[in-house]
């Protein structure tokens, strides 16, 4: 009889035949940055995740580096008073996000820092693009995104992450970066970003929910797969260095198809709702946290992601060291 169970008989044999493994080098840890000093505020919608002021964020990054996490994506939490229609604070010389990038890169020159380019953290409308009469303006948004990307690259970002889903923005940003002398700064494009309910906790963290309407005229319809291939083709031809799928665990088929069709590295964003859902289920004793987290990340990797942006990054690293639940 052919017995597949022979290859599952012991932990050592299972280790030998394991086809996929998540390593710390695959992971990017998203962090939320606040203006000010000595602040560490827990995000109630994301237990275990915090908004940090720069001084404490630097300590947190140092702790993560000791655990083996070396890539981070940074999001700014901007006060309402600084938000306006055009998100002008995003490129202001006073912007704490830009100043902190420089500070972090000066302190830890070897880490990889990834930015977020979109209007929503800075916009009084809470949308990723400029709003006029209830409409999101595509081409009028591009110069703002271009300027934001260049300001972030000037500040020291390694990789620019446009998360806005405006048409043509990857090519536009690439051109502006090149003109500004940032030929070496990469673009991780949010290629297939779906209009998802799973961003809810993040919008709470940033207080960035749309003031009116939804994001369905720019983020993708969860029903569509072939459209992701079109977005991928465009981003690739416009000069993206990474293609991202977001969210991750409900969109494994999209990760898979992009990884088969593109030669670029595929990133997957394991978003706030995916994190909070497991966190809260675990807190209620329904699902084992470590096993659930490891399985979720593994499934994303198995689907074809080279890079995983995940709020589990630090807990995952700790779970490896403590050698828990294997
Ligand atoms: C917005 C942006 C969002 C996320 C990253 N960048 C939210 C949105 O599109 O409304 C979500 C990340 C998460 O849920 O973890 N530019």
Q: How far is the CA of 56 from the centre of ligand 1 (A)?
A: 23
Domain boundaries, the chain: 23-325
Which helix H or strand E contains 299, and what residues bound it?
helix 289-303
Residue of 83, 176, 193, 301 marked catalytic: 193
**pLDDT tens across the length of the chain (326 residues):** 999 999 999 999 999 999 999 999 999 999 999 999 999 999 999 999 999 999 999 999 999 999 999 999 999 999 999 999 999 999 999 999 999 999 999 999 999 999 999 999 999 999 999 999 999 999 999 999 999 999 999 999 999 999 999 999 999 999 999 999 999 999 999 999 999 999 999 988 888 889 989 999 999 999 999 999 999 999 999 999 999 999 999 999 999 999 999 999 999 999 999 999 999 999 999 999 999 999 999 999 999 999 999 999 999 999 998 755 43
CATH of domain 23-325: 3.20.20.70
The full DSSP string for 4-15 is GGGGGSSHHHHH
Centre of ligand 1 to C-alpha 199, Å, is 6
Task: Name the pTM for this structure.
Answer: 0.96
Instruction: Quote the tokens at residue 190.
Output: 């949010």
Q: Who contacts 223 (Cβ-Cβ below 8 Å, separation ≥6)? A: none
173-178-181-186 Cα dihedral, nearest 10 degrees: 70
What is the predicted pLDDT for the residue at 207? 84
Protein residue closest via CA to atom 2 of ligand 1:
163
Residue owning the nearest CA to atom 8 of ligand 1: 199
Strand, helix or coil for residue 228:
helix
Gyration radius (Cα) of the chain, Å: 20
> Is there a catalytic annotation at residue 135?
no
Nearest atom in ligand 1 to 208's CA = 10
Measured CA to CA, the distance from residue 322 to residue 320 in angstroms comes to: 5
- 208 Cα–ligand 1 center, Å: 9
- Helix 272-283 to helix 289-303 angle, to the nearest 10 degrees? 150
pLDDT of 323 = 56
Query: Is 311:270 a contact under the CB 8 Å cutoff?
Result: yes
Determine the distance separating the centroid of ligand 1 and the alpha carbon of 322, expressed in angstroms: 31
Q: Which is the catalytic residue, given 246, 290, 301, 314? A: 246
Q: Which atom of ligand 1 is nearest to the CA of 199?
A: 14
Task: Give the residue among 155, 153, 156 at the shortest CA–CA distance from 178.
Answer: 153
Residues with CB under 6 A from ligand 1: 116, 118, 120, 128, 163-164, 199, 202-203, 215, 271-272
Active site residue 301: no
């Amino acid at each position: 009889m052919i017995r597949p169970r022979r290859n599952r008989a012991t932990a050592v044999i299972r280790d030998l035949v394991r086809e996929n493994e998540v390593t710390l080098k695959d992971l990017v840890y998203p962090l939320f940055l606040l203006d000010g000093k000595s602040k560490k505020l827990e995000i109630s919608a994301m237990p275990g995740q915090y908004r940090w002021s720069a001084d404490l964020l630097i300590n947190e990054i140092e702790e993560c580096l000791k655990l083996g996490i070396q890539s981070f994506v940074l999001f700014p939490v901007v006060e309402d008073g600084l938000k306006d229609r055009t998100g002008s604070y995003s490129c202001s010389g006073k912007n704490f996000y830009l100043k902190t990038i420089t500070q972090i890169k000066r302190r830890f020159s070897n880490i990889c820092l990834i930015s977020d380019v979109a209007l929503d953290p800075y916009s009084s409308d809470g949308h990723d693009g400029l709003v006029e009469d209830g409409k999101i303006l595509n081409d009028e948004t591009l110069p703002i995104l271009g300027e934001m990307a260049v300001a972030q690259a000037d500040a020291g970002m390694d990789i620019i992450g446009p998360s806005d889903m405006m048409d043509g923005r990857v090519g536009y940003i690439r051109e502006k970066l090149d003109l500004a002398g940032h030929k070496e700064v990469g673009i991780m494009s949010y290629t297939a970003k779906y209009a998802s309910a799973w961003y809810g906790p993040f919008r709470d963290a940033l207080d960035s929910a749309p003031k009116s309407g939804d994001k369905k005229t720019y983020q993708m319809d969860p029903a569509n797969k072939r459209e992701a291939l079109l977005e991928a083709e465009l981003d690739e031809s416009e000069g993206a260095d990474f293609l991202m799928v977001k969210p991750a665990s409900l969109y494994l088929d999209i990760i898979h198809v992009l990884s088969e069709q593109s030669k670029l590295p595929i990133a997957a964003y394991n978003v706030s709702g995916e994190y909070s859902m497991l966190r809260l289920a675990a807190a209620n004793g329904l699902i084992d946290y470590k096993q659930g987290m490891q399985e979720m990340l593994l499934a994303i990797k198995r689907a074809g992601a080279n890079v995983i942006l995940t709020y589990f990054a630090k807990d995952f690293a700790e779970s490896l060291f403590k050698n828990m639940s294997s």
